Chain A
């Protein structure tokens, strides 16, 4: 089962490598990992996507909690939550295809953020599956480059993952 875990962690050098090291040392998979400081600059928030059966996920959350620098942790998959991933994709856009790509960007509610005479850079946000669908729709041979953030997640409702 795929799980998306949010982690509040001390914003200290080495904290990220403790998390990454834990996964490799114990043989767990990281599908994606995003991290950035929060509104409180002493804290970072990570969103980590991993896979495993119930017992493995239980161990993963326990082992993460055991890291001294982890302040709080929430498995978002336990409840209703919102997931978003951002992608920037550079597409070949020569004269014959510019309109078609613009329409596609429109349908997916993306934005063209850079234009040259032969390429577009498209910015797109949504669930990971939506980004996958866009890449598919854009035709493989027109894709020059793709960069994705990995999913971010937040729980629905009034509760927040805070100190």
Chain B
């Protein structure tokens, strides 16, 4: 079979089982777009901005576990995609991004729409390639997909000069079956000696706590995690990225930890004697001040990436390996062990935790005449029976969603945790809905975030994607406003979002259904009505209390035990 470079690109995507490519055409990728046009296996979703295309590919990947694929042109196409690539990189999301490049003889000449894509993306990809020869396309694609999806996943960029995809140059095509790279050998099993040591520590623990992160979800290790945590009877807390790996409604679950974590989760971290970190990376939003982090704990850390271990916090028992296989081995070691956990001490520990829980740190004013954002998220939870896919943007609404929508399943909570990319939610929702056509997909956003990628409402219309957008409209960049209230004496410098559009008519002008909801009593009815419109995108502009803050809160650089609690809750 003789194929042109452009045809080989499409053929490689088919070989990798790629169903959707999220993209935006341009000069350098015209040959590829022509090859796309001539086939029906790989479906192309036209975004309205390259950032939207990469976030959509990312949302597809996060919700399905399959690699997301984006296709953009050279120059501004590639630079627009960088935010999406960096977002995926920070959260270790498997993605392959194809960028067009000017024809190879022009590289380095400051040609029209030329940028050094490989150079610009280098610090925010797992790896990147510049293809210089049509004969290298197939092997490069095989490597790219292998790299993106194995070990610690991440985005891989393939930069393809236009002449490499020339339709007139045809070569025989074959796709490499097995991929082995001498310089890249991700660990496939954890060290059994270390695992045994960890299990011994867990069985001797008097105040243990599990601290789990996005790695559990990335490695599909939720079942093993649940089995291990239940069999030990230990409390468990999760990072923002790990929510849903362990059922949020389970009584052993303490809620999220960290800057806006629950009182019980953060206090448990502060008092624990044995911390079991699973697929989490000790991010500064989780640890607070390092010197005060888990001061009494022996720390066990399971992670696929050796460089995550002892990067921010020194750990005592490192276990490098895929989370799922390590947890399987732990369960096996536990079964074979004749010992059982320190049940008397652990039940005493639970008594202490229940006391902390009794403070009900997430309490908010239920009798407010104005809609509280927490109430809006709780209503969404009820209306969707806690079973929707929820994409979020970044800010207060993201934290309220993480605190109040109790995710019982993995891959349901889709947000930009590491990079904190405003504008992520709506395009991510596109990817989620395509990966799960029959599922309910909600986008929780704010009036500032949504405007960063609002153009993707057109994409939703073109492909009939019935997202349900819940805009928590408080007229402010809420999280900025909150920090200005706390740390800048209420000088609200440029955090008021003036001149807002009328979101209802805006949604309607894109061909969707718009709703404005202003009273708490109207919320549930309106939301039910919205979700009943199975085949329509409904944009709910929910006017919420502009003064509400996210509590509890640990100021940057403070310890877990130094939380601000909501006014009215018992002060610590």
Contact = CB atoms under 8 A, between A and B. Distances in A.
Q: Do these two chains really belong together in a complex?
A: yes
Interface residues of A, number: 20
A25 interface: yes
B307 A62 contact: yes
Nearest to A8: B183
A122 to B, nearest CB: 38
B122 A68 contact: no
B310 A55 contact: yes
Contacts of A9: 183
A66 B305 contact: yes
A163 B182 contact: yes
B119 A17 contact: yes
B183 A63 contact: no
Given A65-B306, A68-B147, A14 B118 contact: yes
B123 A68 contact: no
Contact of B307 (A10, A14, A63, A71): A63
A59 interface: yes
A56 to B, nearest CB: 11
A68 B305 contact: no
Nearest to A60: B307
Contact of A68 (B118, B181, B307, B314): B181
A18 B123 CA distance: 8
A69 interface: yes
Contacts of B182: 71, 163
A14 B131 CA distance: 13
A94 interface: no
B182 to A, nearest CB: 6
A38 to B, nearest CB: 14
B147 A62 contact: no
Contacts of B309: 62
B183 A59 contact: no
A62 to B, nearest CB: 4
A25 B307 contact: no
Nearest to B181: A68
Interface in A108-141: none
Contact of A21 (B122, B130, B311): B122
A55 B314 CA distance: 9
A10 B184 CA distance: 11
A14 B305 CA distance: 23
Contact of A62 (B119, B127, B181, B306): B306
Interface in B70-126: 118-119, 122-123, 126
Given A21-B122, A25-B123, A68-B147, A58 B183 contact: no
Contacts of B184: 68
Contacts, number: 38
Nearest to A63: B307
Interface in B125-155: 126-127, 130, 147
A33 interface: no
A4 interface: no
A70 interface: yes
Contacts of A63: 307
A52 to B, nearest CB: 14
A6 B156 CA distance: 27
Interface string B300-312: 0000011101110
Nearest to A58: B310
Nearest to A24: B123
Interface string A29-55: 000000000000000000000000001
Contacts of B183: 9-10, 68-71
A62 B123 CA distance: 16
B534 to A, nearest CB: 45
A17 B183 CA distance: 17
A13 B126 CA distance: 17
Identify which of A58, A59, A68, A163 gathers the most chain B CB atoms within 10 Å of its CB: A68
Contacts of B147: 68
Nearest to B143: A68
B310 A68 contact: no
A68 B148 CA distance: 11
A13 B128 CA distance: 12
A70 B130 CA distance: 18
Contacts of A14: 118, 122, 130
A65 B119 CA distance: 20
Nearest to A64: B307
Nearest to A9: B183
Contacts of B130: 13-14
Interface in B167-192: 181-184
Nearest first, the 3 closest Cβ-Cβ pairs linking A and B are A62-B307, A71-B183, A68-B127
Interface of B: 118-119, 122-123, 126-127, 130, 147, 181-184, 305-307, 309-311, 314
Interface of A: 9-10, 13-14, 17-18, 21, 25, 55, 58-59, 62-63, 65-66, 68-71, 163
21 contacts: A9-B183, A10-B183, A14-B122, A14-B130, A17-B119, A21-B123, A55-B310, A59-B311, A62-B306, A62-B311, A63-B307, A65-B307, A66-B305, A66-B306, A66-B307, A68-B126, A68-B181, A70-B183, A71-B182, A71-B183, A163-B182
Given A63-B307, A68-B184, 15 more contacts: A14-B122, A17-B119, A17-B122, A18-B122, A55-B314, A58-B310, A59-B311, A62-B309, A65-B306, A66-B305, A68-B126, A68-B147, A69-B183, A70-B183, A71-B183
